[in-house]
Amino acid sequence: DAGVTQSPTHLIKTRGQQVTLRCSPKSGHDTVSWYQQALGQGPQFIFQYYEEEERQRGNFPDRFSGHQFPNYSSELNVNALLLGDSALYLCASSLEKRGYKNEQFFGPGTRLTVL
C-alpha cells in the first residue's frame, strides 16, 4: 500500500519564477492538504482540497493556488516566487469523515529553494 508521494524531491528556482509541486494521496484517501514548513519552524497550513475544490485556506496570498484531480491527486502552484517561499512543502492526505478524526498522513515533502 503506497503512502503519500510527492514530486519532485528538490527544486531550485529563481525569484519571479513559477513552480508546480505534485502530490499523490495514500490509497483510498480523498482529501489533500498542503503545508509550508520554513527552516526551523512548524508546518503552516496552506489549503485543503476535497471533491476537486479548495475547501479551506490558511493565511497565504493568492500567489499560492492549487488543484485536485478526479483521481484525488493534487498540485500546488506558486507564482512570482519570493526568497521567503524557500521551504519544505508537505502534502498530507486523509479520508473525509465528519468530525475531528481525519488522521493526516504526510508525504516526504518537496524542498524548494528560491535564489
Partner 1 sequence: GDSVTQMEGPVTLSEEAFLTINCTYTATGYPSLFWYVQYPGEGLQLLLKATKADDKGSNKGFEATYRKETTSFHLEKGSVQVSDSAVYFCAHMTTDSWGKLQFGAGTQVVVTP
82 contacts: CB under 8 Å, gap ≥ 6: 15, 114
Is 25 a binding residue for partner 1 by CB under 8 A? The answer is no
14, 15, 54, 55: which one contacts partner 1 (CB under 8 A)?
55
Q: For partner 1, which is the closer residue by CB, 63 or 97? A: 97
24, 36, 48, 74: which one contacts partner 1 (CB under 8 A)?
48
Q: Which stretch binds partner 1 (CB under 8 A): 12-20, 61-69, 76-84, 98-106?
A: 98-106
